[in-house]
Amino acid sequence: MQFYDVLLVNPIVDGMNLVAKEGAVVNRRDGVIVLSRTAGAFQQLAKGSIPTSPIDVEETEEALYEALMLSADERKIKAEAVRQLVERNDLTQWIAQQVHDLNDLLDRTFRKVKPIKDVGPITDELVKDLVITTLA
């Protein structure tokens, strides 16, 4: 994946998130990602990718053509945008967002439940504790 010009990630149902994200990070040619709107990564990577539908052959053809015809500057902008989106939204960010969402849900549901405290650095042990505490 280091040398693609265009990477087509086109699942019919949610999946292949890591392919799109890995491709964005390891590519060294300012490759462009053509990404299915049904891929789980689409919400995160939409701004830097070219969207397509996995069931529309003509739309996929047009998206691939658009990706191949982008200027070097446009390719660089899209590739850098996707790379930054992946690098900024790592596991730590994802877990912090999950804790935030759980606190919001608890607040709306129970109004009296204390929020989960800032837990500091994310470790495997902390993740296990959070899951056990949340499920208890």
- DSSP-assigned beta bridge partners for residue 30: none
Residue 16's SS3 state is coil
**pLDDT at residue 131 is higher than 70:** no
Q: Where are the domains of the chain?
A: 6-88, 91-135
**pLDDT at residue 122 is higher than 80:** no
Q: What is the pLDDT of residues 31-79, one digit of tens each?
A: 999 999 999 999 999 999 999 999 999 999 999 999 999 999 999 999 9
Q: What is the pLDDT of residues 7-18, one digit of tens each?
A: 999 999 887 788
**CA-CA distance, 1 to 38, in Å (whole number)?**
21
Across 98-120, average pLDDT: 75
Report whether 94 contacts 130 (CB < 8 A): no
Q: Which CATH architecture has domain 6-88?
A: 3-Layer(aba) Sandwich (3.40)
